[in-house]
C-alpha cells in the first residue's frame, strides 16, 4: 500500500509513568514493541521494571511480570518494600516459554516484563537454557507475540564480564529498543543509556537514584556532580559534558604531590588516564609548567565519568590551579579540547553546554576562540591555546570573573 496511507498513530508512544525512562525511549513504550534492558547483576534492573509495571497499572492498564529468576513471593516482598503493589500487576514465576505465552493469552496485559530472557527455555529448540540457540528461539517467539497481539514487551538481558549483552548478536537485531542500565555499586547513581531505538533518538540518557525503598528519577543530575564548597579552592575546575544529548555539569579535582624520587605516580578516577597523561605532557612542554616530575591525582565528583574530550581544558586548568595554588572562581566553567600542539579546539554542542552553565548560575566560561555567543548572563572568555587559557585563569582568579 502507499506509505502515505498508513496511519502513523499505530506507533504512538504510551507513557510508562517513569519520566527518565520515557526520555530515553523517546516518549514511552510503543504497542507491539520489544525493548531489551541489559545491565550488571544487582544494578537494579528488576527494581526499575517493577516500578514501570506499577506505574503502568496505576494508569488503568494491566501489566504482567514474568520471572524466571525469582519466585512470586520474592517479587511480592520487593514490591512491598518499594511500594509497588497493585491489583492490575500480575505475577508469574515461569521458565517455560509455552507456559509463559499461555499466561499472556490468559491475562491479556498491555505490558509484559520478562525477567530474564536467558532463563526462559523452549522445548522446540535444542541447547541448554541461556544458550545461543535457546535465547534466539525465545526472543523470536516473544517478538512474534508482541507484534501479533500489540503488547509492549520489556525483556531483561544478562551481560558478560566484559559488559556486552550475553547471547547471540542477533538478539540486539531482533528487538526494537536496546537499553543499557549502568551504575557503580558504591554509588546510588544509575543511568539508562539508549543504544538502539527504532522509535526515537538512540543517544538519550536517563538518570536515577537507587534507594532502599525503590528507585527515583533525577530530572536535574548536574547537582549530583558538583561539590558544595563555601569558597573556591585551588585544584578544581568545572566543565559541561554532553552525555548523549544531555548537558551535565561535572567537576574535576586535582592534587599535586611532591616530586617523586622514582617514577611519578598518576592516580586517576572518572577520567581517561591516557588523556590525563597527554594533558600533563602538553602543560609541561607547551606551557612550561613543571609538573611532570610530581605525583598527580585526578578525580571527578559524585562518581561521574568524563569521557568527552570537551573536559580536556577543565583537567588542564585544575592541574595548573593545583600547581600554582591559585583557585579558579566557583562561577567559572571551562569547555574545550586540548591538542598536542597546545591549541584549543571547539567541541560540538556548545550552545546547550553554555545554556546549562547559565541556567545553573555560572557567569563566565573559558572556551576556545571562535565560539559562538553565549546566552544572557554568561560571558565567554576565549583562548587560542593552553598558554592563553592559563593567562585567563590567572586574570579571573586575581580580578574575579567579571
pLDDT in tens, 91-140: 999 999 999 999 999 999 999 999 999 999 999 998 899 899 999 999 99
Range with the poorest average pLDDT among 49-58, 130-139, 255-264, 343-352: 255-264
Q: Find cell 544531555 and name the residue.
A: 246
Kindly report, residue by residue over 299-329, the tens digit of the pLDDT: 998 778 898 899 999 999 999 999 999 999 9
- Give the integer Cα–Cα distance in Å for 96 and 233: 60
Q: What percent of the chain has pLDDT over 70?
A: 98
Provide the pLDDT confidence category of residue 243 given band limits of 50, 70 and 90: confident
DSSP code per residue over 6-56? S-GGGG--B--S-HHHHHHHTSSBPTT-EEEEEE-TTSSHHHHHHHHHHHH
Is-contact 199 189, C-beta < 8 A?
Answer: no
Range with the poorest average pLDDT among 71-80, 143-152, 225-234, 292-301: 225-234
Looking at residue 230, what is its pLDDT?
A: 65
Looking at residue 228, what is its pLDDT?
A: 67
* pLDDT(274) > 80: yes
Helices 45-58 and 72-82, axial angle in degrees (round to 10): 70
* pLDDT(141) > 80: yes
Taking the chain, what is the end-to-end CA distance rounded to the nearest angstrom? 63
Looking at residue 174, what is its pLDDT?
A: 93
**Residue 306 has what DSSP assignment?**
B
Strands ordered across the beta sheet of 294-300: 236-243, 246-259, 294-300, 266-269
Ramachandran area for residue 388 (φ above 0: left; ψ -120 to 50: alpha; else beta): alpha
- Give the integer Cα–Cα distance in Å for 248 and 225: 8
- Give the integer Cα–Cα distance in Å for 286 and 341: 7
Torsion of CA 216, 218, 223, 227, to 10 degrees: 40
Number of CB atoms found within 10 A of residue 236's CB: 21
Looking at residue 289, what is its pLDDT?
A: 93
CA–centroid distance for 191 within its chain: 4
Q: Find cell 563566565 and name the residue.
A: 364
* pLDDT(194) > 60: yes
Provide the pLDDT confidence category of residue 189 given band limits of 50, 70 and 90: confident
Provide the pLDDT confidence category of residue 20 given band limits of 50, 70 and 90: very high
Looking at residue 387, what is its pLDDT?
A: 95
CA–centroid distance for 10 within its chain: 29
Looking at residue 402, what is its pLDDT?
A: 56
Torsion of CA 21, 174, 39, 64, to 10 degrees: 60
Kindly report, residue by residue over 164-176, the tens digit of the pLDDT: 888 888 899 999 9
Looking at residue 212, what is its pLDDT?
A: 86
Looking at residue 401, what is its pLDDT?
A: 64
Kindly report, residue by residue over 28-66, the tens digit of the pLDDT: 999 999 999 999 998 999 999 999 999 999 999 999 999
Radius of gyration of the chain (CA): 25
- Give the integer Cα–Cα distance in Å for 50 and 71: 14
* pLDDT(229) > 70: no
- Give the integer Cα–Cα distance in Å for 325 and 234: 5
**Residue 5 has what DSSP assignment?**
G
- For the entire predicted model, the pTM comes to 0.84
- At a CB cut-off of 8 Å and minimum separation 6, what does 303 contact? 184, 186, 187, 189, 270
* pLDDT(26) > 60: yes
Amino acid at each position: 500500500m502507499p506509505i502515505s496511507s498508513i496511519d502513523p498513530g499505530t506507533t504512538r508512544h504510551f507513557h510508562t509513568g517513569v519520566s527518565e525512562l520515557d526520555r530515553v525511549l523517546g516518549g514511552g513504550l510503543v504497542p507491539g514493541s520489544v525493548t531489551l534492558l541489559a545491565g550488571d547483576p544487582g544494578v537494579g534492573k528488576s527494581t526499575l521494571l517493577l516500578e514501570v509495571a506499577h506505574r503502568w497499572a496505576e494508569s488503568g492498564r494491566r501489566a504482567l511480570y514474568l520471572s524466571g529468576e525469582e519466585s512470586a513471593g520474592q517479587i511480592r516482598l520487593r514490591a512491598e518494600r518499594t511500594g509497588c503493589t497493585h491489583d492490575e500487576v500480575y505475577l508469574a514465576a515461569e521458565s517455560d516459554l509455552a507456559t509463559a505465552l499461555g499466561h499472556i493469552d490468559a491475562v491479556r496485559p498491555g505490558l509484559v516484563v520478562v525477567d530474564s530472557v536467558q532463563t526462559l527455555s523452549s522445548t522446540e529448540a535444542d541447547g541448554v537454557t541461556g544458550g545461543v540457540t535457546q535465547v534466539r528461539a525465545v526472543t523470536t517467539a516473544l517478538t512474534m507475540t508482541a507484534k501479533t497481539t500489540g503488547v509492549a514487551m520489556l525483556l531483561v538481558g544478562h551481560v558478560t564480564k566484559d559488559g556486552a549483552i550475553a547471547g547471540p548478536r542477533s538478539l540486539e537485531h531482533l528487538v526494537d529498543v536496546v537499553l543499557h542500565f549502568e551504575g557503580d555499586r558504591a554509588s546510588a547513581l544509575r543511568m539508562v543509556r539508549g543504544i538502539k531505538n527504532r522509535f526515537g533518538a538512540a543517544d538519550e540518557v536517563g538518570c536515577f537514584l537507587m534507594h532502599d525503598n525503590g528507585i527515583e528519577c533525577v530530572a536535574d543530575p548536574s547537582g549530583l556532580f558538583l561539590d558544595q564548597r563555601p569558597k573556591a579552592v585551588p585544584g578544581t575546575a568545572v566543565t559541561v559534558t554532553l552525555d548523549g544529548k544531555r548537558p551535565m555539569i561535572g567537576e574535576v579535582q586535582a592534587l599535586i604531590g611532591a616530586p617523586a624520587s622514582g617514577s611519578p605516580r598518576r592516580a586517576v578516577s572518572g577520567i581517561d588516564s591516557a588523556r590525563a597523561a597527554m594533558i600533563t605532557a602538553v602543560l609541561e612542554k607547551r606551557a612550561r609548567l613543571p609538573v611532570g616530575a610530581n605525583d598527580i591525582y585526578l578525580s571527578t565528583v559524585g562518581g561521574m565519568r568524563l569521557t568527552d574530550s570537551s573536559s580536556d581544558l577543565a583537567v588542564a586548568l585544575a592541574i595548573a590551579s593545583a600547581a600554582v595554588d591559585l583557585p579558579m572562581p566557583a562561577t567559572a566553567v571551562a569547555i574545550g579540547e586540548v591538542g598536542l600542539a597546545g591549541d584549543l579546539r571547539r567541541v560540538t554542542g556548545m550552545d546547550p553546554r553554555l545554556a546549562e552553565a547559565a541556567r545553573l548560575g555560572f557567569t563566565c566560561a573559558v572556551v576556545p576562540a571562535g565560539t559562538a555567543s553565549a546566552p544572557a548572563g554568561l560571558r565567554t572568555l576565549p583562548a587560542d591555546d593552553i598558554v592563553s587559557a592559563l593567562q585567563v585563569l590567572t586574570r579571573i582568579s586575581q580580578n574575579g570573573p567579571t
